[in-house]
């Protein structure tokens, strides 16, 4: 079965839903309800045999790149804007991209401010398999 990465950005996507409110505007109880929902999704996916992994990320982080053969890594950060933040992910193993989209849509309904769905855009990306990797190789 194909594997997919569902990336949670919270503020990313083509256009924010009119009812969207960010994490910073939630009460502690609203944040706890949101986290509980994410755990329920993981449990549901485990029961269906579709769960591979899920992680939440802290907001801190840095950019790192190779500094050269005789140099230390180049580090910059923390992230300059929250819109660049990946908040977490689910990795799923499902029968089809349609099923991956169904799961992402359900995750998008997670509760936020006032217990209302957050209507978050989620990025759904397939894992690269060997044939896709070959397609990306330059022709000789």
pLDDT single digits (tens) 8-26: 987 767 888 888 887 888 9
Q: Residue 17 is part of which domain span?
A: 3-59+78-128
What's the rounded Cα separation, in Å, for the pair 2 and 8?
Answer: 19
Q: Is residue 32 part of a domain?
A: yes
Query: What is the mean pLDDT of the segment spanning 112-135?
Result: 86
In this prediction, residue 125 carries a pLDDT of 95
Question: Is 135 contained in some domain?
Answer: no
Does residue 73 form part of some domain?
Answer: no
Q: Is residue 139 part of a domain?
A: no
Give residues with Cβ within 8 angstroms of 136, minimum separation 6: 128
Evaluate whether residue 87 is within a structural domain: yes
Structural domain count of the chain: 1
pTM attached to this predicted model:
0.84
Cβ contact 54:91 at 8 Å: yes
Which CATH number goes with the domain that contains 109? 3.30.70.1060
């Amino acid at each position: 079965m194909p594997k997919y990465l569902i990336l949670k950005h919270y503020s990313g996507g083509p256009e924010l839903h009119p009812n969207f409110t960010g994490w910073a505007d939630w009460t502690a109880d609203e944040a706890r309800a949101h986290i509980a929902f994410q755990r329920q999704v993981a449990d549901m996916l485990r029961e269906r045999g579709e769960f591979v992994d899920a992680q939440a990320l802290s907001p801190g982080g840095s950019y790192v790149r190779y500094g050269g053969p005789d140099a230390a890594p180049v580090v910059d950060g923390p992230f300059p804007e929250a819109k660049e933040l990946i908040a977490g992910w689910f990795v799923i193993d499902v029968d089809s991209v349609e099923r991956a989209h169904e799961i992402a849509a359900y995750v998008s309904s997670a509760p936020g401010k006032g217990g209302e769905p957050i209507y978050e855009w989620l990025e759904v990306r397939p894992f690269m398999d060997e044939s896709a990797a070959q397609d990306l190789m330059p022709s000789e």
